[in-house]
Amino acid sequence: MRAVFRILPHTSEICLEVRAPDWPSFYRAAAQGLLAVYGLRPGRSGPKTLRLCCKGDSPEDVLVAWLSELIYLIGAKRTVPSGMEVAEAGPLGFTAALRVRTEKALSLEREVKAATYHGLEVAANRTRIMARVILDV
Amino acid sequence: MRFRKLDDFRWELPRAGAMRVPGLVYATERMLPKFEAEKVADQVANVACLPGIVRYSLAMPDAHWGYGMPVGGVAATSAEDGVISPGAVGYDISCGVRLLRTDLKAAEVKAAVPRLMDALFAAVPSGVGAEGPVRLGKEELRKVFLKGARWAVDKGYGERGDLENVEDGGALSDADPERPSPRAVERGQNQLGTLGSGNHFLELQEVAEVFEPGTAALFGLFPGQLVLLIHTGSRGCGYQICDDFLRSMQSAARKYGISLPDRQLCCAPFSSPEGQAYYGAMCAGANFARANRQVITHLARQALFRVLGRDLGLRVVYDVAHNLCQVEEHEVDGKLRRLCVHRKGATHAFPAGRPEVPAAYRTVGQPVLVPGSMGTASYVLVGTEAAMKETWGTTAHGAGRMMSRTQALKQVQGRELLNQLKRQGIEVRTDSLRGLAEEAPCAYKDVSEVVEACHRSGISRKVARMRPIGVVKG
Domains of chain B, residue spans: 4-402+444-473
**The pairing of beta strand A93-102 with beta strand B347-348:** unpaired
pLDDT at B355: 94
Phi, psi of A83, deg, nearest 5 = -170, 155
* pLDDT for position B1: 63
Contact B250 A61 (CB under 8 A): yes
Kind of pairing between the strands at A93-102 and A79-90 = antiparallel
Distance CA B258, CA A135 (A): 25
pLDDT in tens, B393-428: 999 999 878 888 888 888 999 999 999 999 999 999
Residue A12 near residue A23 (C-beta atoms within 8 A): no
Supply the pLDDT for residue B159: 95
Structural domains of chain A sorted by starting position, each given as residue range(s) with its CATH number in brackets: 4-136 (3.55.10.10)
Q: Which of A38, A118, A122, A137 to mutate: most B Cβ within 10 Å?
A: A118
CB contact under 8 A, B264 and A118: yes
Alpha carbon distance B238, B191 (integer Å) = 11
Contact B297, B123 (CB under 8 A): no
What pLDDT digit, counting tens, does each position of A6-43 carry?
998 776 678 999 999 999 999 999 999 999 999 987 66
DSSP B350-382: -BTT-TTS-GGGTTTB-EEEE---TTS-EEEEE
> For chain B, how big is the Rg over CA atoms in Å?
21
**CA dist., res. B464 & res. B367, Å (int):** 10
| Interchain contact A119–B (C-beta under 8 A) | yes
Residue type, B394: T
Confidence (pLDDT) at B38: 80
Low-confidence residues in chain B, pLDDT < 70: 1
How far apart CA B367 and CA B313 sit, in angstroms, is 19
Q: Residue B391 in 3-state DSSP? A: coil
Residue B58: which of B373, B447, B397, B355 has the closest Cα?
A: B397
Do the Cβ atoms of B404 and A12 come within 8 Å? yes
Is residue A15 within 8 angstroms of chain B, CB to CB?
no
For this structure, is B455 an active site residue?
A: no
Nearest to B328 by CA among B240, B391, B286, B275: B391
Q: Which CATH class is domain B4-402+444-473?
A: alpha beta
A105/B contact by beta carbon, under 8 A: no
ipTM of the complex: 0.90
For β-strands B201-210 and B268-269, DSSP reports them as: unpaired
Residues in Cβ contact with B386 at an 8 Å cutoff, skipping those fewer than 6 apart: B457, B458, B459
Q: Which of B369, B393, B379 has the alpha carbon at shortest distance from B317? A: B369
Tell whether A76 is within 8 A of chain B (Cβ).
yes
Separation between Cα atoms, residue B341 and residue B323, nearest integer Å:
11
Q: Which residue numbers of B have CB closer than 8 Å to A's CBs?
A: 38, 64-68, 71, 87, 91-92, 128-129, 183, 186-187, 196-198, 236, 239-240, 242-243, 246-247, 250-251, 262-264, 266, 401-407, 432, 434-435, 438
Residue contacts between A and B (CB atoms, under 8 Å): 101
Q: Which of B64, B298, B348, B397 is catalytic?
A: B397
A60 CB within 8 Å of a chain B CB: yes
Chain B residues within an 8 Å CB radius of A118: 66-68, 87, 262-264
Q: Is B220 left (phi over 0), alpha (psi -120 to 50) or beta?
A: left
